[in-house]
Structure 1
Amino acid sequence: MPGPAGSVGSAGWTAAGVEVELSRDYEPGAGRLPGMSFGTRRLAGAWQPLAADLYRAGVRHARLAEPVELCPAAGVGSARALVLIRELTAHAVAVDWVARCRDGCAGQGLFNHLYPPDRVDGAGEDAAVRGWRESFFLGKCVFRRGPGFAEVRDRRLGSLEMFTIDEPEHLAAVRELTEGVPADRVPPAVRRDLADARLIAEQAGHLWWLPTRAYRWPFPALAV
Structure 2
Amino acid sequence: MSALSAVVPYRLTGRRAEVTGPLDLSGAGRGTAEAVRFLRECQSQGLRVTWRAVGRPPYDIGLLSHLSPPDELPGAEDELAVWREGYAYGSLYHRRGPGFVTVLDRRAGRGTAVRLTLDHPELLAAFLRLQEPTPVDAVEREAVGLLVAERLVLSASGWAVALPPRIRRWPVPCTAI
Q: How does 1:195-210 map to 2 (within 5 A)?
A: 195-203=148-156, 205-210=158-163
Retained in 1: the 8 A contact 2:44–2:165?
Answer: yes
What per-residue deviation string (whole Å, max 9, x for no partner) do you get for residues 93-140 of structure 1?
1111012342564x64110111121121110334xx302223222211
Q: Does 1:95 align with 2:95?
A: no
Matched, 1:69 2:20: no
1:132/1:103 CA distance change after superposition, 3 Å = closer
Provide runs of 4+ in structure 1 moved above 6 Å.
none
Query: 1:183 is aligned with what amino acid?
Result: V
Could you tell me whether the CA contact under 8 Å between 2:19 and 2:49 is conserved in 1? yes
**Counterparts in 2 of 1:57-136, with a 5 A limit?**
60-73=15-28, 75-103=29-57, 105=59, 108-126=61-79, 129-136=80-87
Match of 2:12 in 1: 22
- After superposition, the Cα gap between the structure-2 partners of 1:116 and 1:207, relative to the gap in structure 1 and judged at 3 Å, is same
Given that 2:86 and 2:108 are in contact with CA atoms closer than 8 Å, whether structure 1 keeps it comes out as no
Identical positions, percent = 39
For 1:65 and 1:132, the matched residues in 2 are separated by 21
Is the Cα–Cα contact under 8 Å of residues 16 and 77 in structure 1 kept in the other structure? no
1:185 aligns with 2:138: yes
Q: How many equivalent pairs are there?
A: 171
Provide the rounded CA distance (Å) in 1 between the counterparts of 2:57 and 2:165.
25
Amino acid at match of 2:84: R
Residues 173-203 of structure 1: CA deviation (Å, up to 9, x unaligned): 1121101221012212111110100111124
Q: Which residues of 2 match residues 45-56 of structure 1 at below 5 A?
A: none
- Secondary structure in structure 2 of the residue aligned to 1:212: coil
Tell me if the contact between 1:143 and 1:150 (Cα under 8 Å) persists in the aligned partners.
yes
CA distance in structure 1 between the aligned counterparts of 2:49 and 2:133, rounded to whole angstroms: 21
Q: CA RMSD in A?
A: 2.2
Q: Which amino acid aligns with 2:30?
A: V
**Structure 1 pair 124/115, CA: closer, same or farther in 2 (3 Å)?**
closer
Give the alignment's TM-score, normalised by structure 2. Answer: 0.85
- Contact 1:101/1:123 (8 A) holds in 2: no
How far apart, CA to CA, are the structure 2 residues paired with 1:110 and 1:188?
A: 20
Distance (whole Å) between structure 1 residues aligned to residue 32 and residue 21 of structure 2: 9
C-alpha contact 2:152 2:162 (8 A) present in aligned 1: yes
Q: Is the 8 A contact 1:79 1:204 kept in 2?
A: no
Deviation of the 1:222 alpha carbon? 4.5
Question: Are residues 220 and 134 of structure 1, via their aligned partners in 2, closer, same or farther at CA, if it must alter by over 3 Å?
Answer: farther
5+ residue gaps, structure 2: none
TM-score, scaled relative to structure 1:
0.69
Using the TM superposition, give the Cα deviation of residue 165 of structure 1 relative to its aligned residue in structure 2, in angstroms: 0.6
1:147 aligns with 2:137: no
1:192 is paired with a residue of what secondary structure? helix
